[in-house]
Structure 1
Amino acid sequence: MNLKKQFQEYTPCNAQEEKDREIILRYMDTFDNLLTRENEFAHFTASAWLVNKERTKVLMAYHNIYNSWSWVGGHADGEENLLYVAIKEAKEETGLVNVEPVSSDIYSIEILGVPAHEKRGQHVATHVHLNVTYLLEADEDELTQIKPDENSDIAWMEIDEAVEASTEPEMKVVYRKLNEKLRVYQAR
């Protein structure tokens, strides 16, 4: 299923997702380069809420640019299959070999503001990430490995502890939402 159709069929869980979905669909009709960083204003990213098999913990990485514990993920860089991107990035950023989707469906959507920063010696202007999150699963006993150019630590955390470990107020809101969805998902 193409990305636009996935967004059209996605059922938002709250007002934030409803508004972000509306804006993302509008951007998809306006821009033809949202899958690449060529669009310096807005482009797609894919993130993973990477949980253990019991779904009681999430794997977080200490992100070097933001100096905060955060989820894993990255830019689409031309790839329309954002689930593939989320899995690839989760593996690259954690060293895990076995990462599986709990579902192939979009788990969450958000438009995330990214402040200006330096990356690999280059200035990156303020922009937004049109982010799609997937619920992924891994064995917490599998060996992890940091990716020094992106993170300086990796740790499994209780799901509520993961929210508190983040120093980014706007991301705490997102992580709380993901945990609320996880609790509903577990109750099914």
Structure 2
Amino acid sequence: MNLREQISHYIPYTTQETKEQEVILKYMDTFDNLLARENESAHFTASAWVVNPERTKVLMAYHNIYQSWSWVGGHADGDPDLLQVALKETKEETGLTTISPVTENIYSVEILGVPGHLKKGIPIATHLHLNVTYLIEANEEEKTTVKEDENSAIKWMELEEAIEACTEPDMKVVYRKLNDKLKNYK
């Protein structure tokens, strides 16, 4: 199933996701370069909500640009297999090697506003991340390492602690949704 089909078949968890799914599909019908950062208005990213097998903890990284605890993930950079992007980014940003998707299906969709900032000294304009999130499982006993150019700490947190540790109000809403969905996830 291609990315558009995956997003079309995704069953939104909230009314907000329903609207964002609709808008993402409209973007896909309008632009042909959403998998690349060259689209400076909006492009695809993939995130991982990394949980322990008991699903009582989530792995968070202290993000250098946003100075906040956050999930892991990154830009598609041309790869239409966003699950593989989420897995790759999880390994790169945490040092974990033994991770697996709980399911290959999309766990969540979001449109995230990214304020203008500097990355490696280069100005990045305000834009949108058309984000697809996957539920990833990892062993909390496995050693983690930071990716110094992106984060400065990695920590397993209780589900509620992860929301409290985040300093970005919009992301707290997303993490709360992910945790709520996790409690009811089969």
Question: Same fold, TM exceeding 0.5?
Answer: yes
Deviations 1:62-90 (A, max 9, x none): 00000000000000000000000000000
Query: What is the match of residue 61 of structure 1?
Result: 61
1:160 corresponds to 2:160: yes
Identity rate of aligned residues, in percent? 69
Query: What is the match of residue 78 of structure 2?
Result: 78
**Higher deviation after alignment, 6-15 or 59-68:** 6-15
Query: Which amino acid in 1 is paired with 2:168?
Result: E
Report the Cα offset of residue 121 of structure 1: 1.1
Query: What is the match of residue 44 of structure 1?
Result: 44
Deviations 1:22-80 (A, max 9, x none): 00000000000000001000000000000011110000000000000000000000000
Query: What is the match of residue 9 of structure 1?
Result: 9
Query: Which amino acid in 2 is paired with 1:172?
Result: K
Deviations 1:116-136 (A, max 9, x none): 000011000000000000000
1:92 corresponds to 2:85: no
TM-score of the superposition, structure 2-length normalised? Answer: 0.99
Q: What's the secondary structure of 1:32's corresponding residue?
A: coil
Query: What is the match of residue 170 of structure 2?
Result: 170
State the distance in 2 between where 1:58 and 1:11 align: 23
What is the aligned length? 186
Query: What is the match of residue 132 of structure 1?
Result: 132
TM-score of the superposition, structure 1-length normalised? Answer: 0.98
Deviations 1:8-29 (A, max 9, x none): 1111111110110000000000
Q: What's the secondary structure of 1:7's corresponding residue?
A: helix
Q: What's the secondary structure of 1:118's corresponding residue?
A: strand
Runs of 4 or more, structure 1, over 2 Å off, are none
State the distance in 2 between where 1:41 and 1:67 align: 23
Query: Which amino acid in 1 is paired with 2:46?
Result: A
C-alpha RMSD of the superposition: 0.5
Query: What is the match of residue 34 of structure 2?
Result: 34
Query: Which amino acid in 2 is paired with 1:173?
Result: V
Query: Which amino acid in 2 is paired with 1:43?
Result: H
Query: What is the match of residue 182 of structure 2?
Result: 182
